[in-house]
Amino acid sequence: MADKHVDPKEVPQLSTNNKLGRVLDIFHSTGEIFDGGQTFLAWFHLDIYASQCQQNLYYPFASLGDWEIANFLLTSRLSMRAIDKFLSLCLTNSLPLSFSTAKELCSHAEMLPSGPHWNARVVPTTHLMKSPITLYYCDSLDCVESLFNYPLFMQLMDYSPFCLFTTAEHIVRVFMEWMSSDGAWDLQLKFPKGSMLCSIILSSDKTHITNMCGRKVSHPLLISCANIHMDIRNKGSSHVFLLLALMPIPTFTHPAT
């Protein structure tokens, strides 16, 4: 596709050749680094249990095997009662586990370094409700910071807009990631030197939460960053989308007319 909107010669750039022989024009002087921020490892070492982790890598769990069983139970869909039943089996009791009940397992998990903290706010309304409308949410900046701090994404993110051409003549342009778009290039032109674009992706869908509390449902709001490469972002196992909020679906006392 021929590009008539962006002229890479109009802005500072850096041209390189990739493995396929294509020419990559990168928007230069973006993403300036400033002191004062916390990296993932620095944040990890500030944890109150950092000294115990130096003695035991799997703290608060006793060993690798202890952590593997805990991870399996925590990520399964087993209820607290089912986990208690599993941990009460004779064979399970013979294992050197650091927890014997689901409550102890959850208390161990709460000692692990956490992600963005959750907040709750009751939404006022002038209509009669069957129950208060409670919005559960995280700070969006904390979620974005968590994505940028994740070490595995460091080499899988774009920090500068770029134009990718098939040949050195700059005739046919290739569009792939968001940073390769005209929109990203044009936006970068409007920002000061040293700044970096961060594009936010939001998605939501109606989800059933539980059968135990009145069959409650909500709209989970997920947040991600378009700077992360698309092939990684589209993999559910990469955990690129973080849960930002649970938007409640209110139930009114009187039906709508």
- DSSP code per residue over the chain: -B--S--GGGS-EEEEE-TTS-EEEEE-S-S---TTPPPHHHHHHTSTTHHHHHH-TTTTSSSHHHHHHHHHHHHS---HHHHHHHHTSHHHHTS--S-SSHHHHHHHHHTSPP-SPEEEEEEP-SS-BSS-EEEEEE-HHHHHHHHHH-GGGGGGB--S-EEEESSTT--BEE--SGGGSHHHHHHHHTSPTT-----EEEEE--EEEESSSSSEEEEEEEEEETTB-HHHHT-GGGT-SEEEEEEE---BSS---
Q: What is the pLDDT along the chain (257 residues), one digit of tens a residue?
A: 334 444 444 444 555 555 566 788 888 888 777 776 777 777 777 778 888 888 888 999 999 999 999 999 998 888 899 999 999 999 999 999 999 999 999 999 988 877 888 999 998 888 787 778 888 999 999 999 889 888 888 889 998 999 988 888 888 888 989 999 999 999 999 988 888 999 999 998 766 555 444 556 778 899 999 999 999 988 888 889 999 998 887 777 766 55
pTM, two decimals, is: 0.72
